């Protein structure tokens, strides 16, 4: 069994940007597994700690955390940040470019990349269909700790996590709508192709209101690591201002991740979680103010 576990972990390392040099981690069930800075957490709940915790994390580190999915009944993972203080510099602007902790499978990346002081925050992310684990990536730059924004602060994180069996709720598992005027057709698209394009219903005409669509990309083989996606046209209702920031009424999202709306251009690679057989995207329109929608080119790729 030890040999099998070691092979699995070494295979995981091939797709994880990890630093050389062991670190140790022990969860609530006393499970300890580490190779380099790759850590696999197999207990249903526990803690995810930064390297060198409770001290500040070292510079020049890349770590990979896999939170194992032991049953297909598990739908996602909920996190509570007991401590989450990661270096954020002026040059970062609104996007973490120096140091960060991120959910590897989420796009847009800005919706899942964390830096600054987010202590006390909660986050929830879904397992992709067939996934064996939810993967998080940590990166620290080669900066000298003496040059950190505040040398008196300990830059570190401790996230308490819990595996979920119920992921109902807004922005999680979407309910698929019927397409108006399409003789009972549901707005679900299964996409087994290695390349092609996807679009909103009736594109380039305006999409209907009150619509929830799911686009499920099927992974052709386990050597495919992700889907390279590029917006050819993207025109949804613009975001609106709320007391809590900007919000999208119509949007495209990977369930549990960030939202896209308005008029934008993007190019990214949406990564499959370890063992995932597919990944889904969710399009939602509200009751008013429809727009032209989107046309997105995609290609299933071997290098992410």
Rounded to the nearest integer, the mean pLDDT of the chain is 84
Which pLDDT does position 243 carry in this prediction?
A: 63
Asked if CATH classification 2.60.120.290 holds for the domain at 188-301, the reply, yes or no, is yes
Q: 188, 176 in Cβ contact below 8 A?
A: yes
Residue 161 has pLDDT above 90, yes or no: yes
The more confidently predicted of residues 1 and 284 is 284
Residue 26 has pLDDT above 90, yes or no: no
Alpha carbon 144 to chain centroid distance?
29
The more confidently predicted of residues 181 and 273 is 273
pTM: 0.84
3-state secondary structure 81-150: EEEEEECCCHHHCCCCCCCEEEECCCCCHHHCEECEECCCCEEEEECCCCCCEEEEEEECCCCCHHHCCC
pLDDT in tens, 81-90: 999 999 988 7
Residues of the chain with CATH 2.60.120.290: 2-164, 188-301
Residue 48 has pLDDT above 60, yes or no: yes
Q: 108, 268 in Cβ contact below 8 A?
A: yes
Q: What is the dihedral of CA 294, 302, 225, 195, to 10 degrees?
A: 30
pLDDT band with cut points at 50, 70 and 90 for residue 10: very low
Which pLDDT does position 113 carry in this prediction?
A: 87
Q: What value, to the nearest 5°, has the Cα angle with vertex 125 and ends 65 and 222? A: 60
Q: 61, 139 in Cβ contact below 8 A?
A: yes
2-164: what fold? Jelly Rolls (2.60.120)
């Amino acid at each position: 069994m030890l040999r099998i576990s070691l092979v699995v972990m070494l295979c995981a390392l091939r797709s994880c940007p990890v630093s050389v040099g062991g670190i140790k981690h022990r969860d609530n069930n006393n499970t300890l597994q580490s190779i380099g800075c790759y850590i696999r957490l197999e207990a249903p709940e526990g803690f995810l700690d930064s390297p060198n915790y409770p001290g500040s994390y070292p510079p020049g580190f890349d770590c990979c955390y896999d939170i194992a999915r032991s049953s297909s009944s598990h739908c996602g993972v909920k996190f509570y940040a007991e401590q989450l203080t990661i270096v954020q510099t002026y040059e970062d602007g609104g996007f973490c470019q120096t140091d960060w902790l991120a959910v590897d499978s989420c796009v847009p990346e800005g919706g899942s990349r964390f830096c600054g002081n987010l202590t006390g925050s909660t986050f929830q992310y879904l397992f992709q269909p067939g996934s064996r684990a939810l993967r998080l990536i940590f990166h620290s730059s080669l900066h000298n700790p003496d040059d950190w924004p505040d040398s008196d602060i300990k830059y570190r994180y401790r996230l308490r996590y819990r595996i979920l069996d119920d992921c109902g709720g807004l922005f999680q598992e979407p309910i698929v709508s019927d397409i108006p005027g399409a003789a009972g057709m549901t707005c679900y698209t299964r996409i087994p192709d290695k390349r092609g394009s996807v679009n909103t219903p009736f594109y380039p005409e305006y999409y209907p209101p009150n619509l929830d669509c799911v686009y499920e990309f099927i992974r052709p083989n386990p050597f495919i690591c992700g889907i390279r996606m590029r917006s050819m046209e993207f025109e949804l209702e613009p975001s609106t201002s709320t007391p809590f920031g900007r919000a999208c009424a119509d949007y495209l999202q990977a369930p549990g991740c960030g939202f896209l709306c308005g008029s934008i251009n993007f190019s990214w690679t949406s990564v499959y979680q370890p063992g995932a057989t597919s990944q889904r995207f969710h399009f939602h329109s509200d009751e008013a103010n429809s727009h032209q929608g989107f046309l997105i080119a995609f290609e299933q790729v071997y290098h992410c």
